[in-house]
Amino acid sequence: MTTAAGRTGVFFGGTSAAEPGMANLVDRAAELAHEAAAAGVRTMWFGQGLDYDAVQLAALVGRAEPRIHVGTAVVPMYPRHPLLVAAAAKTAQAATGGRFRLGLGLGARTALEPVFGLPYPPQIQHLREHLAVLRPLLDGDDAPFEGDTLASRPITPTSVAGAAPRIPVLVAAMGPRALAAAGELADGTMPFLAGPRTLAERIVPAITEAAAAAGRPAPRIVAGVPAVVTDDVAAARTRAAEVLGFYDGIPSYRNVIAAEGKASAADLLLTGDEDTVAAGLRRYLDAGATELMLTHTDLLDADSRARTWALAGRL
């Protein structure tokens, strides 16, 4: 039996995954999952870095803490082949007894191409082909696929005993063409730094229309929101400017930040007391988000994180 996923989850990665003096990242992630579950949080998301694997970490943590659902937010498709992504996801689903969700993203070409030293394929075409291969593989369909950016030719069965139920696939899509692909070929989207106005006016209508045209159910929209409950708002905003400044240089994020009428990613931080942050989060739900993922909840200290997670648990 699985628990029910919560409407407000929390994120592990970035500052969470870089605590000084931490002996073992997997152990620390499991400790935080126990802490989150005790606060009433029922969903925990894991970011992909180069120092650990998000799918494996989600599987290990989900197995260690049976009260929570786990997911990735997000694993870049490039340069991972969908056969490998599907195998990892089905393993995580089996390990957690059906409490795993797979969040994927295109990744930032300017950041990833130099790292891997491989040519980045045309983004939207690759997104469509990756999803066209991945969904059947997740469902145990071994049919070959020949595309322009990838090919898939399984030579052994791709089903995994105990991996049911169906694994939801969410795409970190915010542009119109990526949202159309997500609506047609995936179960929803995971926008990050897209505020309530951008959700209501751009993201929710675009992906909902695409899903409806493809005869698919209403999409899940998991909005990633930087949020910190604290009495020291000035310190939180200063720290957010340091940590979130990376996103100001990525075109896709610059676009949604500007669409929200903000000058920088840090301007989207929700911070203040519990009532202030809760009111801000409700604006995202009113804008059409079906779930929230609170990120950067530990910008300051363990106390602010505990307060933020307690709020997430209540919501």
Q: Look at strands 291-295 and 8-12 and give their pairing.
A: parallel
Choose among 22, 81, 93: nearest CA to 55: 93
Does residue 78 fall inside a structural domain? Answer: yes
Type of residue found at 222: V
pLDDT of the chain, 315 residues: tens digit per residue? 455 676 999 999 865 666 666 678 999 999 999 999 999 999 999 999 888 999 999 999 999 999 999 999 999 998 899 999 999 999 999 999 999 999 999 876 676 777 777 778 899 999 999 999 999 999 989 899 999 999 999 988 777 766 678 999 999 999 999 999 999 999 999 999 999 999 999 999 999 999 999 999 999 999 999 999 999 999 999 999 999 999 999 888 999 999 999 999 999 999 999 999 999 999 999 999 999 999 999 999 999 999 999 999 998
Does residue 42 fall inside a structural domain? Answer: yes
Split into its structural domains, the chain has a count of: 1
What per-residue confidence (pLDDT) applies to 165? 85
Does residue 38 fall inside a structural domain? Answer: yes
Q: How far apart are CA 50 and CA 36, in angstroms?
A: 24
Which residues span the domain enclosing 133?
A: 8-314
What per-residue confidence (pLDDT) applies to 121? 86
What per-residue confidence (pLDDT) applies to 116? 73
The residue assigned the tokens 């909840």 is 297
Whether the model clears a pTM of 0.85, i.e. scores above it, the answer is yes
Choose among 107, 110, 89: nearest CA to 48: 107
Does residue 3 fall inside a structural domain? Answer: no
Q: How far apart are CA 6 and CA 41, in angstroms?
A: 7
Choose among 270, 176, 273: nearest CA to 223: 270
What per-residue confidence (pLDDT) applies to 1? 42
Asked if 195 and 238 count as a contact pair (C-beta separation under 8 A), the reply is no
The residue assigned the tokens 């145990």 is 140
Extract the tokens encoding 278.
Answer: 């809760």
**Residue 215 falls in which region: left (phi positive, over 0), alpha (psi -120 to 50) or beta:** left
Type of residue found at 12: F
What per-residue confidence (pLDDT) applies to 160? 73
Choose among 72, 121, 104, 241: nearest CA to 170: 104
Q: Give the domain CATH number at 100.
A: 3.20.20.30
* Cα dihedral 224, 230, 233, 236 sign: negative
What per-residue confidence (pLDDT) applies to 21? 64
Does residue 238 fall inside a structural domain? Answer: yes
